[in-house]
Amino acid sequence: MNFAVFASGNGGNLQAIISALRVQKIRAALQLVVSDRADAYALVRARKAKVPTLCLNPKNFETREAFDRAVLAHLKERRIDFIVLAGYMRLFSHHFIRSYPNKILNIHPALLPAFKGTHSVRDAFQYGVKVTGVTVHFIVEEMDAGAVILQEAVAVGPKDTESSLARKIHRVEHRVYPKAIDLFARGKLKLTGHTVKII
């Protein structure tokens, strides 16, 4: 199975994926790293690992769908079977999601359906929860609403700050995401309705 990673920022999860690929903990081929931001450090990580990159500026496209169609053409050319979002902060058009039905994975730094959105670590910390965590899920058209693949809880300790909590969450992400990607790539995830079973 060929896959692409989409990232807009630091690329910590991308790095964990690259490390897992090196030791065959993910049995699939990373063929492309896609970004919507030329300054994404994820692109530097990809180049260092000799993974091909694609960076398109959304400002050069008139509509969301036009941008997505350009990305899709590259995915088709590289025969990408599935997509892994790793800190990709751009919403997709319906057309894009329909082009990869149940084949787009995302990682979210909270226990969905709690704390959806783009500031989930901060939102959970400010709410004062004692437990938050990490969710890997499928992408559907509604934001952060797809079926859950894997989840892991992270405790919020009395001495935690927002940044220490973020570090804890990132460590868990880097362990859980490669595992979920490998399960998907090996056909071990069975989706029935909104429930994913590991088979």
Least distance in angstroms from the C-beta of 24 to ligand GAR: 21
- Minimum distance of ligand GAR from residue 122's CB (angstroms): 10
Q: How many CA atoms lie within 13 A of 25 on its CB side?
A: 14
| Closest CB to ligand GAR among residues 7, 21 | 7
Question: Rg of the Cα trace of the chain?
Answer: 16
CA 78 to chain centre: 19
Residues annotated as part of the active site? 108
Write the CA distances from 194 to 2, 83, 106, 127, 183, integer angstroms.
25, 19, 15, 27, 17
* Binding footprint of ligand GAR on the chain (CB under 6 A): 7, 9-13, 86-87, 107-109, 118, 120, 170, 173
d(CA 83, CA 105): 6
106, 59, 49, 99 alpha-carbon torsion, rounded to 10°: 40
Shortest distance in whole angstroms from residue 36 CB to ligand GAR:
13
